[in-house]
Amino acid sequence: MYSWIWQVLPFGRPGKVVGSLLLAGIMAVVLWFGVFPYAERWLPNNDGQITDTGVQQPGGPAAPGGPSGGPAGPGAHPSESLPPSDAIPYSTTENNPSPHPSR
């Protein structure tokens, strides 16, 4: 198929290179704005909602109104009870078996 396209494109080697790049660009635009948005509804990788489980992670901030004297009550700002943005929201040691001496 690609050799047929290369043979059909006009204007010698420079025209074939420009024509090939133009065809590749057109196909990228068609895929990006036509095919991918249409197929997105069937793809499972768009469920990125993160919910609060209410479980405090080790090393995370104390719960509002806890021993650290954080804000409590309905007037507290929600971002004050969130962990820092660089905190990992899962354990990095759990479910990782220790190295076994025989391995």
What tens digit of pLDDT does each residue of 24-37 get?
Answer: 999 999 999 999 98
Q: Element (H or E) spanning 25, and its range?
A: helix 12-30
CA angle, residues 56, 88, 61, in degrees to nearest 5 = 35
Which DSSP category does 59 fall into? T
Q: What is the pTM of this model?
A: 0.41
Q: What is the pLDDT of residues 60-94, one digit of tens each?
A: 555 454 444 444 455 556 556 666 677 776 667 77
Whole-number Å distance between alpha carbons of 58 and 87: 10
